[in-house]
Structure 1
Amino acid sequence: MELFLSPRLRIFFSADIVGSTSLKQQGNLIDKERIEPLWASVIQGFYIESYNSFKNEWKSRKEKCTKKLQACLYGEDPYFWKSIGDEVLFTKLITDYRQVSSIILCWIEVISELRKFVQKSSPSLNIKCSAWLAEFPIKNKEVVIGNGVNISNHVESYIIENGDLINKILSDPETVNSRIDYVGPSIDTGFRVSSRASSRKMAISVDVAYIISITMPINEKEKIPIFFSGSEPLKGVLKEAPYPNFWIDMSDYNSLFKKEDQLLSTPACSRDAVKEYCETFFEEYKNYIFRPFIYKDKTNTISNPPDGYNEKLITIQKEYRKFKRQTSEKYSEHKSLERGKGMTEEKFNEKKANTIEFINKKIDN
C-alpha cells in the first residue's frame, strides 16, 4: 500500500496572540532591546517560543515514561505545520487513542508558557488556542508545497506526482526539501472551531472531546475536565446544523473565572455524559461526520472505520495504480509516435500538454 493512501488520524493545534492587532496600532512602542516595533519583536519571539516550548515540554514528558509507554502514550513527535499571521499551527500523527490526552496535557503547559512570554512584553496580551482531529486520506487530503517541489518535465498527472512526492516525504523526509500541507472538510471545521476560542477557553472539536471522554486518566493530575456551552452552527459546517461547543478551561486556579464558576455552580461535564452525547452526535450526522478511528488500532478501542470506508479505500488505491500505469503507457506511446513524425520539441510539448489535460479530466471524472 502506498504510504500516502494509508489511513491516518492526525491532531492539529492552533495558538494565536490575543490583543496583537491593538498593539500593532501603537507604532511608537519600541522594544528596548531591539530597534523595531514592540509588536514585531513579540511575534518573532512567539514563533520561536511556541516551537521550543512544545518541543521541550513534549520531550520532558516523554522521557519520564518507559520505552513501552512512550510508544502507546506518545508515539511520534509533534511538529510545526505553519504560521498564519499571529497564529502558529502544529500537528501530530495519532497511533494510539491515549496519545490525544497526552498531547493535550502537553499543549496546556505550552500555552501557559506562551502566555507568560507575551505578557512580559505587554500585560494586555494573551493567548487563545484550539485542537481538532482529521482523518486521511479519504475525507481529507495531503498536498506537497514548497520551493523543493520540482515538477518534472514528464508529469502525466498532478494527482500522481503529488502522491509520489508525499510517499518520498513520509518515507524519508530528510531527502525531500518540501513539506506537506493539509486540506479538507475536517481542516475547515477545525479553523471554524478555533473561532470559538478565547484566552480562557481552548476550543476543541467534537471528536477530540469524544476521545478524551473514553480515555481513563492515569491519576487526578492527568484528568482533563471538559466543559460544554451548548450548540450553534459553524459557518459552512454540517450544512449549518448546530455544532457542539466543547472547551477546556485554560484559566488559572485562582482566577476570577474560577471564582465565578463556584458562585454559578458550573461543573465540568462527566466523561460518560460527553461520550454519550458525542456518540449520538456522530450517529445523527453520519452523512457528514464519522466517529474517529485508528486503522488497525492495537487496543481495539477505536479501530472500527465507518461503513463503506474500507471499500472506498481499496477503490482509491486501485484507481491510483491504474491511472499511474495508464498515464505512463499513454505518455510513452505518444512520445514515440510524435518523435517518429519528426515533430519539433515545441510542437511535441504542446501535444503532450493536451494529452495530460485529457488524462487529468478522466481522473477527475
Structure 2
Amino acid sequence: MIRLFLSVDMAGSTEFKARLTGQGNRGWLETFRVFFTNFPLMFAGQVGFEFLDDDSTPAIDVWKAMGDEVIFTAQPSSPAELSSILRALLRTMTLYEKKYFERLPLRLKGTAWLVEFGEQNIELDIAELAGDGGNHIDFIGPDIDLGFRLSKFARPSSLTLSLDLVEALLIAPNRDQLSLHLLGNEELKGVMFGRPYPVIWACDADTGFDFLPWEVESCPLVAAAASAEPTAAAPLQKAIADMRLYLRKMHGVDREPLKLGA
C-alpha cells in the first residue's frame, strides 16, 4: 500500500506568536484555531472541485495537527490523481492566505511525499490513544521521517516534493498542470546515507510562484526559483536515476519506483 502525505504549516508563526505574547495578547490563538478548523474544510472543498467531473473523489484525511502544522494523508489511485490532489492543495493554500492572512505576517508552505508500507514503513493501531471504541492509526518508518526532513526546505507559495513523488508525477498524463523546479541538492540528516538530496519545488503551472519581495531578497532558494524556468523532465529523471545508482552501488540498496494503483 502506498500513501501520500501532505504537510502544510505556517511560515512566520514563531515570530508572530512571540510578538503578540510579549504584548500580553493571546489573539494568535484564534488565528491557529481557525487554521486547524477551516483549512481542512477548504482543502476538502477544493479536492471536490478538482474531481467534479470524475466518478469518485479521493478521501483526504487529517493524520495529525501539531504546533503550527497540519498533516494529511491520502491513497491516490494513479499518477493523474496524485497530480490533481497536489494542484488542489496549492490552490487551497493560495485561497486561504487571501481570505485569512491578508493583514497578517503569515504564509503557508507545504511538503508532499509518498510512502510505501510493508517491511520498512508500518502502520500502528494505538488503542490507548483512541476514544469511544475507535482506533488511532499512526505511521512509523524512515520514509515517514523523510518528509519531515524535507519540510526544512519548504517555502511559501510552493510544495517541496520527494523524489518518489516526482517520479510518479513525471508519468502523469496531466503533469503539465504543475511546474517542477529542481533547485539544487542539500544534505538531510539521516537521509540517503548523507548524500545531498535534490530540492524540488512544485507550483501551479497556471499561476506560478507568488513570492513576496522580501522573501526573494532573503532566501537564495526562493531567489533561484523566482528567476528560473520549470525544470524539464530529463534533468529530473537523471536526479532520480543518480540517487538510485548511488544507493545500489555504494550501499547495496535497491529502491524500485513506487507504482500507484498497483
What is the TM-score of this pair, normalised by structure 1? Answer: 0.61
Pairs within 5 Å for 1:145-164: 145=126, 147=128
Report the Cα distance in structure 1 between the residues aligned to 2:127 and 2:17, rounded to whole angstroms: 29
Cα gap change, 1:296 to 1:208, in 2 (>3 Å): closer
For 1:212, the equivalent position in structure 2 comes to: 169
8 Å contact kept, 2:198–2:239: no
Q: Select which of 104, 110, 122 maps to 1:123.
A: 104
* TM-superposed deviation, 1:97: 2.5
4+ aligned runs moved over 3 Å, structure 1 = 146-150, 249-257, 260-264, 286-289
For 1:351, the equivalent position in structure 2 comes to: none
* TM-superposed deviation, 1:146: 5.1
Equivalent position amino acid for 1:245 in 2: V
For 2:220, the equivalent position in structure 1 comes to: none
For 2:139, the equivalent position in structure 1 comes to: 182
* TM-superposed deviation, 1:289: 6.5
For 1:100, the equivalent position in structure 2 comes to: 82
Q: Select which of 14, 32, 44 maps to 1:55.
A: 44
The 3-state SS of whatever aligns with 1:129 is strand
The structure with the largest helix share of the pair is 1
For 2:219, the equivalent position in structure 1 comes to: none
Equivalent position amino acid for 2:14 in 1: T
* TM-superposed deviation, 1:59: 1.5
Cα gap change, 1:100 to 1:288, in 2 (>3 Å): farther
Report the Cα distance in structure 2 between the residues aligned to 1:125 and 1:41, rounded to whole angstroms: 14
Identity of aligned residues (%): 24
Gaps of 5+ in 2: 217-222
* TM-superposed deviation, 1:274: 1.4
Cα gap change, 1:225 to 1:235, in 2 (>3 Å): same
Gaps of 5+ in 1: 1-7, 31-36, 151-174, 298-365
For 2:16, the equivalent position in structure 1 comes to: 23
Cα gap change, 1:201 to 1:29, in 2 (>3 Å): farther
For 1:293, the equivalent position in structure 2 comes to: 258
Cα gap change, 1:125 to 1:206, in 2 (>3 Å): same
Equivalent position amino acid for 2:82 in 1: V
The answer to whether 1:43 aligns with 2:25 is no
* TM-superposed deviation, 1:232: 2.0
Report the Cα distance in structure 1 between the residues aligned to 2:224 and 2:197, rounded to whole angstroms: 24
Report the Cα distance in structure 1 between the residues aligned to 2:143 and 2:5, rounded to whole angstroms: 10
- What do the CA deviations read for 1:252-280 (whole angstroms, capped 9, x no partner)? 569656xx77995x211112331233133
User: Size of the alignment, in residue pairs?
Assistant: 246
- What do the CA deviations read for 1:146-176 (whole angstroms, capped 9, x no partner)? 54659xxxxxxxxxxxxxxxxxxxxxxxx95
For 1:240, the equivalent position in structure 2 comes to: 194
Q: Select which of 93, 110, 113 maps to 2:95.
A: 113
Equivalent position amino acid for 1:136 in 2: F
Cα gap change, 1:97 to 1:176, in 2 (>3 Å): farther
For 1:194, the equivalent position in structure 2 comes to: 151
* C-alpha RMSD over aligned residues: 2.7
Equivalent position amino acid for 1:18 in 2: A
Report the Cα distance in structure 1 between the residues aligned to 2:195 and 2:13, rounded to whole angstroms: 32
Report the Cα distance in structure 1 between the residues aligned to 2:138 and 2:224, rounded to whole angstroms: 40
8 Å contact kept, 2:157–2:211: no
Report the Cα distance in structure 1 between the residues aligned to 2:183 and 2:253, rounded to whole angstroms: 22
The answer to whether 1:277 aligns with 2:245 is no
The structure with the largest strand share of the pair is 2
Cα gap change, 1:29 to 1:117, in 2 (>3 Å): farther
